[in-house]
Amino acid sequence: MANKFMDSSLLDKAICFAVRAHQNTERRGKGFPYIVHPMEAVSIVATITPDQELLAAAALHDVVEDTSITLDELRREFGERVAALVEQESDKFMEGVSETDSWRDRKQAAIDRIAEAPRDAQIVAMGDKLSNMRAIARDYDELGDKLWERFHAPGGRADHEWHYRGLAQSLSTLAGTHAFREFMAHIEHVFGKPKPELINMDDYEVSGDGYTAISYNHKGGKRMMKLYAEYMPTAEPERELQQSWSIMELGMNIPRAFRLVTDGKRVGVEFERIPGKRSFSRAISQEPERMEEYMMHFAEACRKLHATPCNTKVFASVKDHFNRSISVSRDFNDAEKERLHAFVDSAPDATTCLHGDMHMGNIITDGKQTWWIDLADFRYGHPYFDMGMLYFVCVSNPSEEMSQKIFHLSHAQMLKAWELFVRYYFGPDVTVEEASRLIAPYASLYMIHFANREAMLPHWRPAVYNTLLK
């Protein structure tokens, strides 16, 4: 079967132009022609977009930096957009930076420039940086730490780790792409897992309080962070950071996740700050007369989430998660555990997306659009499991103090929120009573899960027995 026609004339022209510009030039220390690098950058960009101008810019990204070609020549040959993308990629055109500045100052300026660049320019940058990181990973496997002697960075390995982790943060808008995942995999292979960066708490102010974490806004206005409680394992924020990057690939609207941070005791994740945002629970507490409207939008967001196919190779099964919780629980004997496992295994199978901690506090809005947040427990499975969490916080938990502290709502308001959710999620054919009977057993699974973290099961034991072990 013949290949489908595609007009690649611009890319073809750019490749020929780049070949001539880089002819008879070796890729430093590699022993092969320089043109191999921009061609690799083109192949990487092609995994993100078919846009011919971006592919052409990837082929040409070093011609102004490393040859006698000028931007004016690129404009005449390829147009303003391609020339602008090449200019954005070249350190030659960074304002306020000179060769007399330190290596770190120059690299920091480049990192900042990429972070603030349009997405198109970041895609071209990803082609270049991933190609570089692939080469570093290959050479590191062969040379080990002797590799760093090849470079000009005065701090050797430490400087390069700082540089590439900074690039990863600046390119995290591309976290939903295979290229970004590969970039992160090479960084972890060479430099190890990311370590939390120490932050100055004087730069932050409290913005929200949750069950396992506290949120803080940076006084600079552009970022916020979520610091987990001291008793929470570091694996939780590590998973949330990785989950956030993978979730972006699914097309879900979530705040950008940047890096792991620590105040010296607690570990958390730094995120993009959404100006003027409120959680749905906060919005309801401030505008109780609009509760029905907010719960209708919340139910719609949940239905959209639960209609999204999940990547089962990247995300974990919710059934596996709860079966592990049951297995490690010290509150049930073997016979009881067998019955609990049987319930989990009998639940309908599905491969759709689940939030894992789905409630009105974990979705935010600025009045125009919404974002899901707190995504460390994102998994795949049947929506009943997600609704079990919502039922747990709205109905099973009778604590007025907890409802007010976490959701800013009374227990009576939480019960009303559940009723409205059922109405708008299930439709008129399902009553609140029917939905509650269906979902209550799944809420009990969350009781078991949380009891493994804290000694709380005696308070919830009757509910578990009434719904799952009776």
Q: Which residue, 230, 255, 272, sits at the end of a domain?
A: 272
Q: Which domain holds residue 379?
A: 278-469
Q: Is residue 2 part of a domain?
A: no
**Close Cβ partners of 238 (under 8 Å, ≥ 6 residues apart):** 193, 194, 260
Specify whether 288 is located in the same domain as 268.
Answer: no
Residues 285, 394: Cα–Cα separation, whole Å: 14
Chain centre distance of CA 43: 24
Residue 20's CATH number: 1.10.3210.10
Specify whether 357 is located in the same domain as 268.
Answer: no
Q: What's the average pLDDT block by block, 10 residues per block, for the chain (470 residues)?
A: 80 96 84 92 96 97 92 95 93 72 84 91 96 94 89 84 90 86 93 88 87 87 90 88 83 86 93 90 96 97 96 92 91 90 95 96 93 92 97 84 84 95 96 95 88 58 59
Tokens of 268: 């958390």
User: So what's the pLDDT on residue 138?
Assistant: 94
Backbone φ and ψ for 260, nearest 5 degrees, come out as -80, 140
> In Å, what is the CA distance from 411 to each residue of 63, 300, 389?
64, 23, 15
User: So what's the pLDDT on residue 459?
Assistant: 57
The residue whose two tokens read 């132009």 is 17
Q: Positive or negative CA dihedral for 404, 410, 411, 413?
A: negative
Residue 404's CATH number: 3.90.1200.10
| Single pTM value for the model | 0.74
Put residue 206 in one of left, alpha, beta given phi > 0 → left and psi -120 to 50 → alpha.
beta
Residues 312, 289: Cα–Cα separation, whole Å: 40
User: So what's the pLDDT on residue 42?
Assistant: 97
Specify whether 112 is located in the same domain as 225.
Answer: no
Specify whether 458 is located in the same domain as 309.
Answer: yes
Tell me 342's DSSP state: H
Residue 268's CATH number: 3.30.200.20
Q: Is residue 68 part of a domain?
A: yes
Tokens of 353: 């997306």
Tokens of 284: 């309801």
Specify whether 345 is located in the same domain as 226.
Answer: no
- Burial group, residue 292, by CB count within 10 angstroms (0-12, 13-18, 19+): middle
User: So what's the pLDDT on residue 99?
Assistant: 73
Specify whether 255 is located in the same domain as 187.
Answer: no
- Domain total for the chain? 3
Q: Is residue 4 part of a domain?
A: no
Specify whether 246 is located in the same domain as 305.
Answer: no
The residue whose two tokens read 């609140």 is 432
